Amino acid sequence: MTPRIDKAFISFRIGTPIWIPEARFNEQLAMFEKYKGVTDEVTFFTSETHPCLPLNVIQDRAKLLAKRMEQVRQRGYRTGINHLCTIGHHNENLPNSLTGNYTSLTDIEGKLCEGSRCPNDENMREYIKAVYQALTAARPDYIWIDDDIRLFGHMPIVAGCFCETCLKIYEKESGKRYPREGLKAAFNTGTVEEKLRNRKSWLEHNRKLISRLFELIEKTVHAIDPKLPLGFMTGDRFFEGYDFDTWAEVLAGPNHCEVMWRPGGGFYSDEALFQMIDKAHSIGRQNSMLPDAVVSIQSEIENFPYQRLKKAAHTTALESAAYIAAGCTGTAFNVLQMCDEPLDEYEPLVATLHKARPFYDLMAKTLGRAKPQGLYAAWNKDSFAVKYLNAPDWFGPDNGGSMIANTAEIHELGIPAAYCLKDAQIAALACDVPLALSDAEAKTILSRGVYLDGPALTRLNELGYGEYTGFTVARYHDTDCLEELLPHDLNRPFAGRNRDNRQSFLWWHVPAAELIAASAAAQPLSRLVDYERKQVVACASGVFENKLGGRVYVGGYYPWTYLQTYSKATQFKTVFRWLAKDTLLAYVASYHKINLWVRQLTEGRLALAMLNPSLDESREVVLMLRSQADEIVVYDMNCAKTLIASDGTDGPYKRFTIPLIPAWRMIFVTT
């Protein structure tokens, strides 16, 4: 049974330049005391730079941390250690970092990241054991393992580890001996089936590598403190095999100790606010892989390089709410000073977060571990195998090739997000994504509602699912095509409306698929015309209902981007209702840019978060809820409450009109 959540799990991560100097440490504590309740946990970094530190430095810092943590406990906070560098991140401060007979993380060309070490190296494993013994001996309330435990993105290399030790381990696992150049050829040449088989085998190797490392850490820590909670920070870990559920079990150990999680990703400034939403969807994927026993899920919010004008206090506060909406139960704030300097400029930020704390508590208590439901951009643990599948290098400089559908614009239309198949009413498949799916996953998707682009349609047909898709792709058109909606019930009242995405503009060029019906039941929804409005293609998108009971929509013209004309946005909502057979729990019917996350808490009781990702305020937002409720409760980010009565129905949906959602603000709604 999932434990009850009474409030959000909130922590602050404190850097060494703040906690090592006594005066700065006391200044930080005084700020927390002034804004009592802004945090429940104070977590201490072990390092300010990103390679591993010499063992004696860690041991000395652990002794001081024991004192610092006791001072924090006396003020009523939980406290623990965030170990930044278990294997190291990248090349930085190398002269003052770990040296000795340790194997550096090695890429498939043999190049090294000297700031990151191979976790299969036996000398490194002995070092890691000694580090975690020292940290556990400091008697923290918990230990966080930071996100350097990954195999992708350790600058200056792209992906590892392909050292001789790792290759020998892989030989035992797979029964095949490869030199690096031979393994590279196995990943990038041969048939699609051969490449996929070899790539999936390596992803499984990566899963096992991380499991072995976590087993070492778990045994080391729990040999000293058998009940000490362990936490792990992640991002989208596709190359590592995304084995979060297994890793959580390993970290819990045989005594089933508490495991915490910190899902994260990059979003560091106000310059690209849309990255907040992108990160929220990434965090949603990460959360979807966690067992229900993982209750403390603190989103990572990092304002690196911690220069206050880079990100507004409001942005930071909104981030936390967005990530709770996507499935977290709290937040770990890493937003303070990186140097031994006064903290004055950070006080307005802490004050803003203190003011927002009741909103976080309301959301976490109401939502608990309930899962978002809606449209799912299909992916699984093997999705990285299809990355760059048709290019000469799996780890190419662009690392292009879609391994997950880009549903961001669809969600901005007010279609709610789901992050795993069991919570989805509709799935979206792009490009080579079908190749990563099992037969059971593919048939489950095709038995519900599914949205496909042209390449995904072709892959499904090649895999033998053609009887369930209804269409084939005849060819692609590269220039001067506009989409025109055809007369059809799903297009009312927009027949004849056009969408022109200017294919000749190379920086957003997308070839348009010409579709052919493969079944008499397949129905075209749009055609392609040129700039004289002469027909180029008779069918550019269409719908089909298959014998599994599933409904299919194939979009051949800009299926993922530039969807936000009034006619296309409204048609999309009609089509998505049709795909889901009116089982979507909620959607936004009006022409607004709104991100929506919705849960069913109990039978008939819904809760949802609505974020306005626009610089325009949204007025008279029409929210449709699949509910019998005649009234909803709306909370703003100050927890001010408004009751709104239903003003109509449409099939199983009740209509509610929300007067205002300010720009880049969230509201929280319950029935």
CA distance 263 to 286: 6
Using 50, 70 and 90 to split pLDDT, how confident is the model at 313? very high
Using 50, 70 and 90 to split pLDDT, how confident is the model at 390? confident
Mean confidence (pLDDT) of the chain: 96
Could you tell me which of 586, 584, 606 has the C-alpha nearest to residue 595?
A: 586
What would the pLDDT profile of 139-183 be if each residue is shown by its tens digit?
999 999 999 999 999 999 999 999 999 999 999 999 999 999 999
CA distance 267 to 312: 12
What's the half-sphere exposure (Cβ side, CA atoms, 13 Å) at 5? 27
Range 606-615 burial, b when 16+ CB lie within 10 A, else e:
bbbbbbbbbe
Structure tokens at 302: 């990092």
Residue 187, pLDDT > 90, answer: yes
CA distance 518 to 256: 53
Instruction: Judge whether 541 and 527 are in contact, CB under 8 Å.
Output: no
pTM: 0.97
Instruction: Judge whether 668 and 609 are in contact, CB under 8 Å.
Output: yes
Alpha-carbon separation of residue 548 from 238, 306, 445, 469 (angstroms): 31, 53, 10, 11
Residue 398, pLDDT > 80, answer: no
Alpha-carbon separation of residue 668 from 229, 297, 332, 639, 643 (angstroms): 31, 19, 21, 9, 12
| Across 68-94, average pLDDT | 97
Determine what percent of the chain is predicted with pLDDT higher than 90. Answer: 96
At 44 the three-state DSSP class reads strand
pLDDT of residue 396: 78
Alpha-carbon separation of residue 495 from 382, 483, 485, 571 (angstroms): 41, 11, 5, 10
Residue 502, pLDDT > 80, answer: yes
pLDDT of residue 379: 97
CA distance 423 to 403: 20
Which residues make Cβ contacts (< 8 Å) with residue 556, sequence separation at least 6? 453, 454, 473, 512, 513, 514, 515, 528, 537, 539, 540, 541
Complete domains list, the chain, with CATH: 10-367 (3.20.20.80), 374-579 (3.40.50), 595-670 (2.60.40.1180)
Residue 18, pLDDT > 60, answer: yes
| Across 345-370, average pLDDT | 98
Using 50, 70 and 90 to split pLDDT, how confident is the model at 400? low
Beta strand 259-263 with 230-234 is parallel
| Across 522-526, average pLDDT | 98
Structure tokens at 501: 């995405």
